[in-house]
Structure formats: C-alpha cells, structure tokens
Structure 1
Amino acid sequence: MTNRNIRNPREVAPPPAPRTSAQAGHPSLRVLLAALSTVVLLLSGAGFVVSGKVSNSAGNLSLGGGKGTKSWQAADGAQDILLVGIDSRSDAQGKPLSPEEIAMLRAGDEENENTDTIMLIRVPNDGSSATAISIPRDTYIHDDVMGNMKINGVYGAYKNAKKEQLFSSGVTDEEKLEQQSKEAGRKALISAVSQLSGVTVDHYAEVGLLGFVLLTQAVGGVEVCLNEPVNEPLSGANFPAGRQTLDGPDALSFVRQRHDLPRGDLDRIVRQQAFMASLVHKVLSSNTLSSPTKLNNLADAAQRSLTLDDDWDIVGLASQMKNLTGGNVTFTTIPVVSIDGVGDYGESVVTIDKKEVHRFFKDMLGDKDKPAAPSTSETPNQDHKLVSDADVIVLNASQITGLASRAASGLHQEGYKITEVGNAPDGLYTYSQIVASSENDPDAKALATKLGGLPITTSPSLEPGEITVVVSSDYNGPVSDEPFDPDNPEAEPSTSEEPTTSEEPADIVGQPGEAIDPDSTPVIDAGGDGPRCVN
C-alpha cells in the first residue's frame, strides 16, 4: 500500500469477521415470487444487458457504509440498490453456457470486464414507489487511483489490478483469485457510483445477459413500440415501426442497439427503460404472478442469472411493495453535459458535471443521507455533545492518497482534537468505521452520529477518551482541501469562507463536446395502457 499519510498507524484490533454473500436461490415459490416481482421484474428488466463477467457470490461489499442493511425499514427512509449488468458466457453459478444459449444471446464469443449497464434504484420504506436512475456507460469520471476513466471500466480495472497483486504475492488458486478480484472490482464500482451520485449504496444486484432472455421468455414476451423501423446488424435489431411483442432474443437485440440511434447510448438507455416499464406494467396488471408455470420459469431464470449481496431481505422488500402500482415506478437518466466529449487519450466519452449530478440526485431522490434532527423533547444535557474532548486518531484504509489527512483536517475544522494521522495496516479494514474502547463510549457514539451513522467497533488497545476514525473509500464525512498540519495540531479551526457566487464552477472531467438539451431525456413510468414509443 502506498505511504498515503503522515505518521505510523497505531495498531488496533481487527473488526468483527466480514459478512458473506450468496447468490440468490429459490427455496420456495413465495421467496422467488418476492425476488422476481420486486427485484428482477420491478427493478431490473433490460438492466441485464452489459459487458463483463458474472459471479455466483457478491462477496463482502461493506454496503450501507459498513453498517449492514438487513432490514428494509432503513433509518434514513429508503434503500438504494446498485444494479449492475454484466455480459458473461457463464451463469451466476459459474456454469458455462451451452453453444445453443450463446447463439441465442446474439452477442458473439468475446467477453470483457466492462459493466455497461449501471442503475441506482431507490425504494422508500413504505414501498410506495421505485425510482431507477441510469448512469451512461461512457460517463467520464476521475478515480483517485486509476485516474480519469469511463465508469464502465472501473470494475474491470480494479479486478485486474487485484488479481495481479494476489498473483505476485503467491496466490495461484484460480477460484480464490477470481473471488477476491471480483470483490475488489465490485467495491470500487460501488465507491465510484457513490461518489458520483452522493448516495450511499445499501444493496448490490448483478445480472447477466442470459437472465434477460430467460426472464423475458418466462413472462411470454414484452410489448414495445418504435417510432421508426430499424435494421441494425451489429445488435441484430430488425423491427418494424409501431407496437409489437418481442421474445427473449429479439428483446435482447432491441435493448442492445446503440448504433444508428440519434443520441447513441442515451437512446439505448431510454429503450432499456421503456422495456423495463412495459415489463413491470405487464407483471403488475396481468396474471403473471398467479401462474405456477410462469413462476417456475421465473424461478429458474433468477437461479441462473441473479447475484445479490447477503443482506437482501427479499420477503421483507416484497411485503413493503405489495401495494405498488405501475404509475409509481419511474425510470430516468442522470443529466449529462455532452455525449461526444473527448477523454485524455482521444476516446469518445460522456461528460457530466458532478455538482449537477449531485443536485439531480438530491432533487430526484431526496437528501437521504442527511442526519435526522434530534428530538425536541430531549434537553441538551441528555445527549452527549457532538464535539467532544476525546483524542481522535484518523487512519486511511483506502487507496486514496491523503484521505486520512484531509479527513483529519475536516474533523479538526469541526472542532475535534486530532492527535494522530496515519495508514491502517493492509487488509485490516474494508469500510469506514469508528473504533473505541467500548461500543457504548458516548464520545464514539456522538462522533459516529456526526459522520452519518458509522458503525462502532472495539479494540482493547484503546483507552477511554481515545477514538480511532477509519476512513475508507465509502467515507462521506467532512474533509478539507488542505491536509492536516501535524506540526500545529492546536491551531484554531479555520472559519474563513470564500465569497459565494450565483453559479458554482462546473466539475467536469474531460473535454466536453456539443451541449445536450437538459430537457431531452424523458422520465418514463410503468403506468398507462401501452408501451412508450421510442427511437
């Protein structure tokens, strides 16, 4: 690990054993009904169309900021699900697809590590709605380790880097190499989406091409509508204009096409969303969920294609969303600056303004991660003060250079006493957390609340009055642009502010191309009496 910060770390005891994850199964029709009606059919649909690899285990992903998200009654009011689509020539159990299945996919023999479908889905606690927001595959972002890159390449870049690291350290077991490298890729993608959106990811779902075809066939096909006829050989899309019902392979071609479309990948995303909306509408308004044959087919499809993190409570989610109607399921896309921008190496990219994307998510989803206001029925003396006199140690458990130093500076500006800044031992921590002598330490609990509800772990090496803040890639607490000054730790926190202007400067990576009309991307819902016609 790179020497990222200032001082040698203090040794602290490791956190509890990490959670494990398992591929979604079907122990009963009721559980599969819940999984497919709420997760796959309601939220996924065409999100299965991608490029990359599928795994039968999501691994230890430290979701929900490491706090765990088993209950669908989230304290912040909603669960945010990252849905990732991956192109694979094996199923979710690792079994290779048959030649007939590969031919049915019309996707060729080549596979890569890109995640070409990325959606963030919000489900509120009351189950009254579901909002799915697509992130274009070519969205150009900055990664603190890999540099500037397309977001669909994050998973593969970190997966390959982790595999090389493991191999060079002597790990040769192929199964272990794949498992740990895929886990690293997933964690990196979760972090990238969280940083882009400003939203903490609570759950992870990964699906493959085969699942899309099987699920479409299981419901008897899905109705779509085209504005104009299409004949595009690269995707196999050859359809007349108007309304039509597509089976699995044809539906796959319909949502894969991005060439010969006016807005390229943005129009492909709209197709995916229109397909999903039609699928949801069909399931919610027909006898799909009361047909034993269709349920068995859906169960088999999920078994072979869907990978979930271990904290999914599928029955609980289904119970929350039992009264959902199609009109309350909406699909949209993040705002983009241009679709013909230029990256560092001359590649075509989609440019975005990160600040505008953050505003978009706050407006669309609400400010989920804003801490709840304290109860007015309690007096100030009943709660321990948020800023304490405890000695605070800040350790960097990420690959982000200087994160601990900037976090320490941010905490110092909030009034905390920083006594030590350094790097966490390699592999000791996988998510941000508070470490204290006791989980009931009032200073630790207050600081955990201040930092958005970080989990508290304990270490016998710490004395009362000492707290360690471990910052990883999921850290969303205060940071400063200026690193912490260890030679002047008692300096008063800076309170100076730059004059604000009516417009903030844009935060854009890459060279933008021709501006996109911000009102050109539709919001699609699953209500109505027929599919939305699209390009």
Structure 2
Amino acid sequence: MPQYGSSGRPPRRKRRVGRILLIILLAIVVLIAATWIYLESSFNRVNALEDYAGRPAAGKGTNWLIVGSDSRAGLDAEDQERLATGDAKGQRTDTMLLLHLPDNNEKPTMVSLLRDSYVDIPGKGKNKLNAAYAFGGPKLLAQTVEKNTNLRLDHYIEIGFGGFASVVDAVGGVNMCLDKPLKDPLAGIDLPAGCQDLDGANALGYVRTRVGPRADLDRVIRQRQFISALMDKVASPGTILNPFRLVPLLADAPDAITLGEGDHLHNLPSLGFAISGASDGSTVSTSVPFSGTRSVPKIGSVIVWDEAKSKALFEALRNDTAVPSNVIVMPGG
C-alpha cells in the first residue's frame, strides 16, 4: 500500500478543498454583510416619533405603529392607472395598526385603529383618526395615537400604494380564499369566489375596497388577513431559498418601506413574526372596542370608542398583562 509523505497529493488536495470551502464561507459572510448594509442604508426615513410636553411615559414591552398610506410617490401615470389609485390630492392613511410586543410570555397583540375613530387630535380638536395624517403627517398621527391610547410608541413603519404592490409581486403573489365574489371598479378589482393568488394590483384593491355591508369594518378584516398571509409568504422557504423571489424582494423593500429615524433592520424580524402570528392565533388580533357610530356635522359618520373597554385594552398593553377576553373584538363584533 502506498504511503504519502508531506509532499503527497492527497494531503495537498485536502488543503486545497479546505481553502475553497473557507473562501466560499467568507464570500457568503461578505454577501450577507453587504446586503445588510445596503438595506439598512436604503430604507426611507421619517421623523415620526419625538418627545413633546405631556407625552406618555414608556410602559412595558414595545409598541409599533404600522401605517398603510395612499402615497403615490414614485408612481407614474401608467402605474397609477394599473393600480387604480385614483387621483385624490394630499395623502391619507388607509390602514393603521398598533402592534404590541411584550417583554414577557404574553402573546403579542395587534390592534386595528379604525380610520373613522372619533379622537382628539393635538392642536386640531376632535376629528377622524386618519385626518391626523392629512393635517400633520406621521408626526401628528403618532402623537394622536399616543394621546388617545396613553401608550408611548417605540417604532414606526409605513408603506405606500406602489411599495405594497411591489412587495406582493416580488414574492409571487399571495393566496387568499374568498367566500363570495368581490367587485369594486373604484379599487380596480373583480375577484371571483374561491382560493386564488392575488398579484400586487389585485392585492392592493383587495385591502383598499370598502365594498361590503360594514364598509370600513369589513375592510379591516381583509387587511389583517392579507397582511398576516403576506408576512407568512415573505418568511416562507419558498421565498427565502428562491433567489428569483428573494432578490426582487430585497431590491424592492427599501423603496417600499419608510421607517422612523430611530428604527433599524434588526427591529423588523420580530415585527414580521408577530404580524404573521395573527393567522394561527399566536398573536392576539382585535380592533379598539367601540360603542357605536354617529354623525358629526362637517365631519361625517364617525366611530366612537367604548371608553371603559378601550381603556382596559390599552392598560393591559401598557403593563404587559393578558388582554381581557371581553375587550377582544373583531370589527363588527
């Protein structure tokens, strides 16, 4: 049997293989680091959260304000027509969610803030919640949410029309099952009943339309279902391990998302997992309890929060305690 010395070929081959594996490992590390730096430096930023007189003190856990706006920034006329964005002037919020991540073993809680909620807007009096964004952008909206919930917000994230559609297209669409057909020319959708993959344009129409007997309340249900399904798709092996989906997603994400100035890439995974948890019950999902609706001159129909139940909900979040079952409601419940 041949014996190999220090100059034998097999040891040299082993060293060569070892160097190749080391180079591959270093290349992967460099690629991950470069991607991280690119994403961290490329997100849009906005000064949404700042101190002011009377701001609520920090409670336990972490609070996110998640905003879906009707921003048409970056969309040309062709894109606006394809996405059926309409030609409304100014900028409003179609979706507002408060997400609480506890520091203990309690479940995360995702709260829909109905856009027609009748609330106090600092410096503007009482109006619909989504008017705060129109009056003063992200900063006034954040202050309004803090003042009316007595919760200090720690993080802010916003996504506009074009960004939302791009992310959905990047992951290859999102499967949704409709109990009945959903048609809304204003939102640009004509969806049949049954399970189907929604592309970016149809997904945007699906979460925007107010068609249904309960209008905005039905829309909130669709929004929560879709956002949870989208987060599941983003985190799935079919996206993470598929370069034809992952690369477009990483390329589109920075333009699609606006973060608060103090927010960073490492804050996002826990946000995504908590949102996706709404689909399997690992995240508590509710709207702010409300007592009814009424008409206000020059403002229109508004939603009135149930004072006792909404206070109990926000106090539970503030103290990282279990949300009382009697305040957990679905829109229309």
Q: TM-score, normalised by structure 2?
A: 0.75
The equivalent of 1:240 in structure 2 is: 192
Q: Alignment partner of 1:337: what SS? A: strand
1:494 is aligned to: none
Match of 1:446 in 2: none
Write the mapping of 1:57-72 to structure 2, written as runs, cut at 5 A: 57-59=45-47, 61-62=49-50
CA deviations over 1:35-81 (Å, ceiling 9, x no partner): 9xxxxxxxxxxxxxxxxxxx9431263169999xxxxxxx9542101
Residue 206 of structure 1: how far off its partner (Å):
1.8
Preserved CA contact (<8 Å) 1:29 1:295: no
* C-alpha distance 186-324 of structure 1, shift in aligned 2 (>3 A): closer
Please state if 1:187 is matched with 2:127: no
- Counterparts in 2 of 1:27 and 1:215: CA distance versus 1, 3 Å: farther
Q: 1:324: Cα distance to partner?
A: 9.9
- Structure 2 residue aligned with 1:211: 163
Asked whether 1:521 is paired with 2:331, we answer yes
- 2:312: which partner in 1? 359
Name the CA distance, whole Å, in 2 between partners of 1:60 and 1:114.
15
Aligned equivalents of 1:284, 1:276: Cα separation in 2: 12
Partner of residue 305 from structure 1, selected from 242, 247, 256: 256
Q: Is the 8 A contact 1:127 1:321 kept in 2?
A: no
Name the residue aligned to 1:252. Answer: 204
CA distance in 2, matches of 1:224, 1:148: 37
Distance 1:276 1:354 in 2: 28
Partner of 1:273: 224
SS at match of 1:106: coil
| 2:180–2:194 CA contact under 8 A, matched in 1 | yes
| Deviation by residue 1:127-165 (Cα, 9 ceiling, x = unmatched) | 9854321111111112352122111011222x3xxxxxx
The 8 Å contact of residues 126 and 321 in structure 1, kept in 2 or not, is answered as no
Which position in structure 1 is the counterpart of 2:173? 221
- Stretches of structure 2 that go unaligned for 5 or more consecutive residues are 1-31, 322-326
Identity %, equivalent residues: 32
> Is the CA contact 1:140–1:150 (under 8 Å) kept in the aligned structure 2?
yes
Does structure 1 conserve the Cα–Cα contact (< 8 Å) formed by 2:66 and 2:99? yes
Deviation at 1:102, TM superposition (A): 1.6
- 324 and 223 in structure 1: CA distance in 2 versus 1, 3 angstrom threshold: closer
Write out aligned runs for 1:112-131 (5 A): 112-125=90-103, 130-131=108-109
Structure 1 unaligned residues grouped into runs of 5+? 1-25, 36-54, 68-74, 91-95, 160-184, 370-516, 524-535
What is the aligned partner in structure 2 of residue 97 from structure 1?
A: 75
Q: What is the alpha-carbon root mean square deviation over aligned residues?
A: 3.6
Q: Which amino acid aligns with 2:160?
A: G
Q: What is the one-letter code of the residue matched to 1:86?
A: S
* Corresponding residue of 1:393: none
Q: Distance in 2 between matches of 1:114 and 1:325?
A: 25
SS in 2 for 1:269: helix
> Of 127, 130, 136, which residue of structure 2 is paired with 1:152?
130
How big is the shift at 1:27? Answer: 7.6
User: Whose helix fraction is larger, Structure 1's or Structure 2's?
Assistant: 2
Please report how far the alpha carbon of residue 274 of structure 1 lies from its aligned counterpart in structure 2 after TM superposition.
Answer: 0.7
3-state SS of paired residue (2:127): strand
State the secondary structure of the residue aligned to 2:210.
coil
1:86 aligns with one of 62, 65, 69: 69
What corresponds to 2:245 in structure 1?
294
- With over 3 angstroms needed to count, the CA separation of the structure-2 counterparts of 1:65 and 1:280, relative to structure 1, is farther
- 1:230 deviation in Å? 2.1
SS of 1:345's partner is: coil
Q: Quick check: 1:140 aligned with 2:126?
A: no
With the length of structure 1 as denominator, give the TM-score of the two structures.
0.48
